[in-house]
Amino acid sequence: MPVTVRYFAGARAASGVDTEIREAASLDQLVGQIVDTHGARMAKVLTACSFLVDGTQTRDRSLELSPGAVVDVLPPFAGG
């Protein structure tokens, strides 16, 4: 099932892209693919990230993804 992944701030810098399409059934599977593709720097960034899945914040990596889901990868932001 296709999932749109959007990267912000440090996650964008680590991935080198703003957005990409992946095939994943769960957030855990998606994170594994992202690390496999983008490497150790991305793995380190992801340890601090939270995720928005279709606009709902989650850190639950066992979450199942719906076809066409949009996943925003959000590292901690500085400032207010």
- pLDDT in 10s for each residue of the chain, 80 residues: 799 999 999 999 999 999 999 999 999 999 999 999 999 999 999 998 999 999 999 989 899 999 999 999 998 875 55
What's the number of domains the chain is made of? Answer: 1
Cβ atoms of residues 49 and 11 within 8 Å = yes
Burial level of 32, CB count in 10 A (0-12/13-18/19+)?
A: middle
For residue 69, give its domain range. Answer: 2-74
pLDDT of residue 40: 94
> Could you tell me if residue 80 is inside a domain?
no
Report the CATH number at residue 21. Answer: 3.10.20.30
The length of the chain is 80
* Tokens standing for residue 65: 């993804």
Residue 60 located in a structural domain = yes
Specify the pLDDT at position 78: 53
